[in-house]
Homo-oligomer: A and B are copies of this chain.
Amino acid sequence: MSTILDVCKLAGVSKATVSRVINGIGQVKQSTRENVFSAMKELGYRPNRLAQALATNKTHTIGLVVSDFDGIHFGLLLKQAAASAEFAKKQLIVTDGHNDPDYEYEVILQLEAQCDAVVLYSRTLTDEHIQRLHEQLTIPIVVLNRNMPEQCFHSVSFEQEAAVTILMDHLFEKGHQEIACITGHMDNPTGKARLNGYKNSLQAASIDFKNDLVKHGVYDMKSGYQACKELLNEGITFTAIVAFNDCMALGALKALTETGINVPEQVSITGIDNDPVSEFFTPRLTTVGLPITAMTKQAIELAITLCDETKPTHSYQYKGQLIERESVSSVYTAKN
């Protein structure tokens, strides 16, 4: 790999001049500029980003940290992040935290010198972790898809509790009263908020909360399948399932189908996310859309803005919307 010195020699000028040509700033005679360009071309020269970053203290890079690469949103999330970053001519570095908070914490600290800002989509870090990071890091953080209790972060979040409320209300409207719940991880704010949505909806409808109707999953199809099997094995009656994401809802769908239970005739199912695959199952899944693409766009763009200017912290809140398909039926027609 050729360096700026090779270009200097070939073009017969100093480093400063080459640098001026590269960056298009300062005064350079047209003929000199052309010489330098042709020298660069001849050598296949491209500036070393590391050296540039070190000299300017600007990396033109956004770090994106996710707790785990196999989350369901990651297709859309990464795609949009990459698109937004490219649009602003920033490099995007994506790293995962292996679902291990300590490792993830370490990864983010490591990223500090390599990025101008970080977007954090974390499931495993606690609020305290994030708080500590915020104090420790000299680069701005944008927290994505997580409701932070205090307003001291830049964040782009989703109204988790409302998402469940929307589903519950929809099911109530259809006459459902015995509604099972398949949660996600309960060790983080998202899971807790969604469960609150479930509980509060029941309370608002004056229906007793029954612990037996709640099973815990981990957001993948398999755990949804297993949770549903448990419900069935325990002989609990329910006419509908609220799963905390589409994957688990589809896993539950499989469990019911396998057992010979018709969805939605006998049991209705709902999810959250509007995962692209949900449309391809039969029946197509009724769900609450999580606008991950829009949220990601917002977060990356915010991070990019923060590279160049400081802004007062602001939280963007997104709301879910009910997407009605065929996995829910009225309980009145279902009784048979």
Interface of A with B (CB < 8 Å)?
1, 44, 46, 48-51, 53-54, 59, 68-70, 74-76, 78-79, 82-83, 86, 91-96, 98, 103, 109-110, 112-114, 136, 138, 221, 225, 250-251, 253-254, 257-258, 276-277, 279-282
Contacts and interface: CB of A to CB of B under 8 A. Distances in A.
Nearest to A138: B1
A46 B251 CA distance: 45
Given A54-B54, A86-B98, A109-B46, A254 B277 contact: no
Taken together, the copies of this chain in the complex come to 2
A331 B327 CA distance: 32
A98 B82 contact: yes
A113 B69 contact: no
A225 B75 contact: no
A110 to B, nearest CB: 7
A75 B78 contact: no
A96 B110 contact: no
Contacts of A250: 277, 280
A82 B54 contact: no
Nearest to A72: B75
